Chain A
Amino acid sequence: MGQRRTSPGLILGIALILLLPCCAAGVLAWVFLHRPAPSGTSSTALEVEVTYSPEKEAWFAPLVQEFNQQKLKVGGQRVEVVAEALDSGEALEAILDGSRTPTVWSPASTLWVPLLNQRWEERTGAAEPLAIYPQPLVVSPLVIAMWEDYARAMGYPGRNIGWQEIISATLDPQGWGAYGHPEWGAFTLGHTNPYFSNSGLLSVAAEGYAGAGKVRDLTPADLGRPATRVYLQEIEQSIIHYGESSEYFAQQMAARGPAYASAVVLEEHTVVQLNGGYYGKLPQRLVAIYPKEGTFWSDHPYVILRGDWVTAEQNAAALAFRDFLLSRPAQEKALAAGIRPADTSIALTDSLIGPARGADPFQPQTVLEIPSAETTAALLETWQDVRKRVNVLLVVDISGSMEGEKLAAVQDGLKLFLSNLGDDDQVGILVFNDQTVPLTELSPLGPKRQWVEEEIDGLQAGYKTVLHDVTIEAVDEATAAYDPQRINAVVLMTDGLDTASQQGERDMLRRLERAAASEESVRIFTIAYGKDADKDLLDQIAKTTGGRMVEGTPENIRRIYVILSSYF
């Protein structure tokens, strides 16, 4: 008795009072531990511009996305890689003229690196090279992609075939008749434009070696010899047409089969991808011929440029991106795209690079020596002299919908196109709205170059569109002026639907089909300009004649014309 009982409520109250600050401390600590990253982190991303060759796009583009998702930080800033696929030659020119200032350049081959340095030094007088220490990311040998039946007719796989033999076949008037298949017609070969694309430049280098009868030490003097030049000229005569990228050739091979070309020069992985149905179903398998005299490796180097536009942080971020591309998971993904990884601990055994896809992982057995920058420059000059000349009719829509900026951009594009042609290329221009007006007929560009440019500047837009009529007229004119020694083509640009033609769509397509089947076939390259263009019809026109449809806007039309000039 007398002992006071402590109330349970009081005890609980005291306990709660003790517990509350602890809980509060716990909550505060939790907030502290889970607070955002420490100060110094900037909300703006550190952009790393990467210009890479489109030949590796299937492997490269998804990795850029994956890298950016990792949200890696350098100096407190999140790294954002902004990558653009640009043909090696085009990228080189863009870096030189300052229109692109990437942190990283990854052309298709190391061959382009000394070329950039040499031109950079000429342009800026800088003693230090712009690009050093190229590091291969993935590799793929340059091969001659040939239809399997055709290759077998030449003795594949038992006989090793070389550049010399391929070149002789293209020059042989008997064509495939010399191999027991006169029904296959002439031996037609395609390679990309060496000024734009890696495989084109390497093809011309291989032709140069074959012409000089060498496999190493090719010099400008070798290329200057009359016999070599005649040889190169003869080869280029057999070329169907050029083009800015391997991808276009791959698409055409898949779409048109042997009728498009007997063989084209591509990287091995493009053959692997073609046989895997990457570009659509093939009429028969393609096989990679590894030329017996040797070939070149496309080593897809990663080069961090040393331009004054690259900051130390961007340099560090570029190194991190390079390490990511060379990491094992990223390298293993190259195999899935049919490209050989640079990481040699990854085996090629049982990969896509095998006979089922027309490739041989044990090839090539020998290589041609990479020419010096000086010889490469001489190769490009020689090619410009000996390349196949062109008969090209430019068809330009000047209907009312083209008024203003749209026409101004086209006028610039047309002049850029002409600047890429030589004086002895033949050019005609046909403009149309509700009627067709020949601005200039097909004739050598040299004597009329300045006059034509002035006429282009004077173009004015108005009235309706006679697309069907002008297409027929263009084909008729180009066919009438057909020259087997030249690339014969029409480049047709329009921004809208036909509104005033006398001829119907079906009549026009029938005319194109007839023209395409004739000996004097002319390819039509079409530009669907702006959102109102009839893309389906323009695509059909291009496909019927073996050409290509591209989509243009006032922003990109200048580049579209430059790209189309690569076909000639």
Chain B
Amino acid sequence: MRKRNLILFVLLIVLAVGILAGTLFGVLKRRQGTPFNPLPELKIEVVYATEEGAWLRAAVERFNQEKHVLNGQRVVVEITPMDSGEALTQIKDGRIHPTAWSPASMLWVNALNDVWRAEHATDLVMRVGQYQATPLVLSPMVFVMWKDRADVFTSFFPGREVDWDTIQEAVAAAEGWKTLRGDPNWGHVKFGQTDPILSNSGLVAATLATYDYLDKTRGLTTADIMDSDYRKWMSSLWGSVVGGYDRTSADLMNHMILYGPSTYDVIMVYENLAASQLKNARGRWASDLYISYPRLNLWNDHPFCVLLADWSSADQKDAALQFQRFLLGEESQQQALHYGFRPANVDVPVINDDPENPFNQYQDLGLQVKIPRINLVEVPSAEVILELQVFFNQQQR
């Protein structure tokens, strides 16, 4: 065979094999969506409180891209947002079967265990041991007020803080801001909170206001909620709400910026929402927002709870723990700062050199690295919570 013909022959064979291989690869790629991967998938589903959304979605994307492996299986995390109260009901009723759940606060873990124990004589979430509920990020409750109005407010109440007692006095003022020596065109002082029946932050706000009125930090009883003086005081506060009761604190925070001081002078929300929204408020209205911390508070610690249910395998439970460790890792915790959360991992400082971290940027707007005063209150019993919700319902027309 002449050398020239041989070269031609080889070239044609190479071309043919190339086309065949390319075709096969294309078909495989089409079928699998990703390059061929011999490891089987181990899927876990995590139901989470809506407030964690932006941070958690980004974290899941990173986790899945990093291709974590457990016992020869590739761990894939899928997440579903759900309000804490709704998730509790759906888990209890067996309508959803997540591997893990991250509600807004430990309050919901107790509530789930209560209802679960009644039917199954065991807890669904552990408080100790390997699978114990573990806080992911922290956020206390804060008051958010427009800065110009906060200045007038604090001048009118010298030596007193922006807190439930002063807010209640302000909303009850007959001529509103004019009484407080503010601009009469600001109208009445208008408070805002979320719906305490539908939303965790609304329930926490009502609970904190009640403790503050009674000047105690524990032992809230149904008799306290029935007290007529307390009801009058609380009705006056709720009577100043003109913006309606939002279902989620994210909606409330967003609406405060959207409708501005026309509709909300002061609201109570999670610190992380306020911190992450300060930049959107800047320049939108005549004034910035200002954050204050109430005397009595509750941490929203967003616990990660691996559910000890028979619908997930041992591998899935361990994969959930792997994901939990990832969320508590330095990178995820630093990312949480962008969304206004405080890291639960004590090795990650609140202040760093990250320009996106609101705790670096907005201390002049009241955002505190170290909360100056915090007295934690006891989570009320289910009975008291129900009474509070019934009272709220009666107040609505």
> Which positions in A face B, CB cutoff 8 Å?
5-6, 8, 11-12, 14-16, 18-19, 22-23, 25-26, 29, 32-33, 110, 133, 136, 139, 141, 160, 215-217, 292-295, 297, 340, 342, 344-345, 347-349, 361-370, 372, 374
Contacts and interface: CB of A to CB of B under 8 A. Distances in A.
Contacts of A216: 188, 239, 242
Interface stretch (B12-20, B44-52, B336-344): B12-20
Contact of A215 (B1, B19, B187): B187
A19 B13 CA distance: 7
A294 B27 contact: no
18 contacts: A5-B1, A8-B5, A15-B13, A22-B17, A22-B19, A22-B20, A133-B247, A216-B188, A294-B187, A342-B258, A344-B254, A344-B258, A362-B285, A365-B183, A365-B262, A366-B190, A367-B259, A370-B244
B8 interface: yes
Given A23-B19, A26-B23, A217 B239 contact: yes
B262 A367 contact: yes
A161 B242 CA distance: 22
B326 interface: no
Contacts of B157: none
Given A344-B257, A372-B397, A366 B262 contact: yes
A355 to B, nearest CB: 14
Contacts of A368: 242
B242 A15 contact: no
- Of the four ranges (under 10, 10 to 19, 20 to 34, 35 or more), the interface on chain B belongs to 35 or more
> Which of B19, B22, B185, B261 counts the most chain A CB atoms within 10 A?
B185
Interface string B25-42: 011001000000000000
B90 interface: no
A347 B244 CA distance: 24
Contacts of B281: 344
B263 A25 contact: no
B144 to A, nearest CB: 13
A366 B12 contact: no
A366 B185 contact: yes
Nearest to A29: B23
Contacts of A160: 185
Nearest to A25: B23
B166 interface: no
B9 interface: yes
A26 B19 contact: yes
A32 to B, nearest CB: 7
A297 B263 contact: yes
B214 interface: no
B2 interface: yes
Contacts of B185: 160, 292, 365-366
Contacts of A363: 262
B64 interface: no
Contacts of A367: 187, 190, 242, 259, 262-263
Contact of A15 (B12, B20, B186, B262): B12
B397 A29 contact: no
Which 5 pairs across A and B sit closest by C-beta, in order of nearness? A366-B187, A15-B12, A29-B23, A22-B16, A344-B257
B312 interface: no
B376 interface: no
A304 to B, nearest CB: 15
A217 to B, nearest CB: 7
Interface string B176-191: 0000000101111010
B283 interface: yes
B277 interface: yes
A486 to B, nearest CB: 37
Contact of B16 (A18, A293, A365, A370): A18
A113 B324 CA distance: 43
B356 to A, nearest CB: 14
B397 A374 contact: yes
Nearest to B259: A297
Nearest to B27: A29
Interface in B245-273: 247, 254-255, 257-263
A33 B16 contact: no
B116 to A, nearest CB: 29
Given A8-B5, A22-B15, A367-B242, 9 more contacts: A6-B5, A15-B8, A15-B13, A22-B20, A29-B27, A344-B281, A348-B284, A366-B188, A367-B259
